[in-house]
Copies of this chain bind each other. A is one copy, B any other.
Amino acid sequence: MSGSIFGKIFRVTTWGESHGPGLGVVVDGCPAGLPLAASDIQTFLDRRKPGQSPFATARQEADQAEILSGVFEGKTTGTPISLLVRNTDQRSRDYGNLADAYRPGHADYSFETKYGFRDYRGGGRSSGRETLGRVAAGAIACKILEKLNIRIQAYAFSIGPVEIQSFDPDQITRNPFCMPDAQAAQKAREYLEQCKKNQDSAGGVVECTIQNCPPGAGDPVFDKLDADLAKALMSIGAVKAVEIGDGVKVARSCGSQNNDGFHYDAHGSLTKTSNHAGGILGGISDGSQILLRAYIKPTPSISQPQATADKKGENINLQIQGRHDPVIVPRAVVVVESMAALVLADALLCGMSARMEYLEKIWKR
């Protein structure tokens, strides 16, 4: 069955392989009247573009997006928006020797057992390059959220064992790791240099905050905002755990500690006195900051030899060539942000139908 369509109203269909002619996305259900230019998309794509640091793959791709439909005179028309990015630097020859191998940590074996065979060039559809379509669509979702004064921001919370100790948002764009802590970034650099020396790779954590989300987004009982965010983040290739708010820590907490009380301040506006819940209660946004964390595994493609098997029935000693990121966390930052934006934009569109008074506001004559 199809699994490349995401969302209920704001519906995103991504397509494309690492080494095919190109990749892209169709966004169906974007409201009409949103100002949109190719440069809006490009800004986002540039944040995940390869070849920008010694800690990312050396593959050179312009990743230039073309808007093929759905925009007229600078505004979305309400019809499907089709975006196309051509592949230009694919080197399939790098993958010839991998055609039969089941690379450890990769989806070679599982794709092959599912579909009967697989496009072995660069992971095909299971390549990290697949996230390109997500990011292009995420750029549109972020434009919608911007119009509602909602701001999403993701950054690297940790790389390998190196966690941030302070938070300076300006730092995020000043180091190749997207870390909001200059000192941690320096330590991450040292750690990654050691990884490269060891022909090894590192993982890390991406944290994402959503500011100024209005209360009321998310649809119990299955399409809860946190449930859809969990799916969105876990659907990113290398993510193995997702947290909302205090996350794993809640399991050891007590009700009296973990409960967030409500409070009217001196001006009569309601806030919570704490935010262990991470901005979501009962699957619905509560108006406070939403906080997410995605745990990302180390890049499976490492250049040290690995024992594994191939489809011909042989146990082999595999050495992976090619241009691989020693850590994908920094490039995953914009992917996490994009996926969170897709979920939230969709939840807000879905939430428009929550009340009769909203329906009457739009349609009653």
Contacts and interface: CB of A to CB of B under 8 A. Distances in A.
Interface string A61-76: 0000011111010011
A250 B295 contact: yes
Contact of A13 (B5, B203, B252, B356): B5
Q: Which 4 pairs between the two chains have the least Cβ-Cβ distance? A: A107-B282, A3-B219, A2-B29, A3-B223
B72 A119 contact: yes
A322 interface: no
A68 to B, nearest CB: 5
Copies of this chain in its oligomeric complex: 4
Contacts of A281: 105-107, 109-110
Contacts of A119: 72, 77, 79
Interface stretch (A43-51, A171-179, A308-316): A308-316
Contacts of A277: 105, 240
B361 A362 contact: yes
A276 to B, nearest CB: 8
Interface string A197-232: 010111111000000101111111111101111111
B256 A200 contact: yes
A304 interface: yes
A319 interface: no
Contact of A117 (B32, B115, B200): B32
A135 interface: no
A258 B227 contact: no
A210 to B, nearest CB: 14
B105 A259 contact: yes
Contact of A245 (B219, B230, B240): B240
Interface in A6-29: 6, 8-11, 13-17, 20-24, 26, 28-29
A40 interface: no
A3 B224 contact: yes
A53 interface: no
A29 to B, nearest CB: 3
A258 B88 CA distance: 32
Nearest to A349: B353
A66 to B, nearest CB: 7
Contacts of A283: 3, 107, 110, 126, 235, 237
Contacts of A24: 68, 82
Interface residues of A, number: 171
Contacts of A204: 251
B201 A254 contact: yes
Q: Which of A15, A114, A214, A259 has the most CB of B within 10 A?
A: A114
B224 A235 contact: yes
A58 interface: no
A356 B148 CA distance: 10
B26 A262 contact: no
Contacts of A286: 109-110, 113
A184 to B, nearest CB: 14
B247 A295 contact: yes
A161 interface: yes
Given A28-B3, A149-B365, A234 B226 contact: yes
14 contacts: A4-B28, A15-B81, A77-B115, A78-B114, A79-B125, A113-B284, A126-B282, A198-B256, A203-B251, A242-B242, A247-B295, A250-B296, A258-B297, A263-B307
